[in-house]
Homo-oligomer: A and B are copies of this chain.
Amino acid sequence: MSQVRKAKAKAADLPQFDAVLPMTRRAQIAETLRNSILSGRLAPGTQLVESKLATRFGVSRGSIREAIWELIDRGLLVNRPYAGTFVASLDAKTTAEVFSLRCALERYCFAELWPKRDETFRKEFTQRYSSLVKTVRARKYFDTIEAELHFHSYPYEFCGNQTLLDVWHQLSQKIQLSFVICQAVERGVEFKSDGDRYTKSFVANTGRYIDAALGDDLDKMLREIDRHLELGLIAVMRQTDPLPTPRRKNGR
């Protein structure tokens, strides 16, 4: 009785549940840790101790290890054999690389999807845009990061190239990480004092971006991608530079 019901009963007379999670413990833990890292609750450089996580989560050390390795493979954690596993950081060089590569990917993405655009695309993209603007205006910094990624992911999803989407997901986590690091510095300093100006320019900036994306001039859109990402990069770099790498990185 207390068990989870199988979805064998007639599905017609039941409300839509959100796809009963066939998640293994490993996946659940990885998800939780990922959220903690990408929301900044686990600061870069923090060591993750397997045994402590195991007791805190109430699971065995093996499950923790597997979840940890999943995040290592995705670049959110770094491991030094026998020394420990730490939340990854990003130096200035890597940040620049990520933004530069993203630029190339996004140009490719829009070139591919350009002739496929339809009403669905315009509607969904606009919808994500307005929900992003709403979040920014509400000054919810953590949610803004998430909303921005959600917005910028849509072209990759719509493009229909699964391989490209995979690469984007990998890259987007590093982008999110750079935002987290940036935000850790910004928090309580610039964001509050200059909040209005920041919000205004952000909305205007992203507005130009989506306008071009919904327009009819592909070349203009490609230039807009360059401009948009360059602005994003310098915003992040201003905060990244003075921050020294907490630990030496290990390339495995």
Contacts and interface: CB of A to CB of B under 8 A. Distances in A.
Contacts of A235: none
Contact of A163 (B66, B74, B97): B97
**Secondary structure dominating the interface of A:** helix
Contacts of A127: none
Given A22-B81, A73-B74, A162 B66 contact: no
Interface residues of A, number: 34
Interface string A153-176: 000000001111011001100100
Interface string A61-85: 0100110011001110000010000
Contact of A101 (B70, B73, B74, B163): B163
Q: Which of A22, A66, A97 has the most B CB atoms < 10 Å from its CB?
A: A97
A231 interface: no
A229 interface: no
B104 A163 contact: no
A27 B252 CA distance: 9
Contacts of A93: 162
Contacts of A97: 161-164
A130 interface: no
Contacts of A100: 112, 161
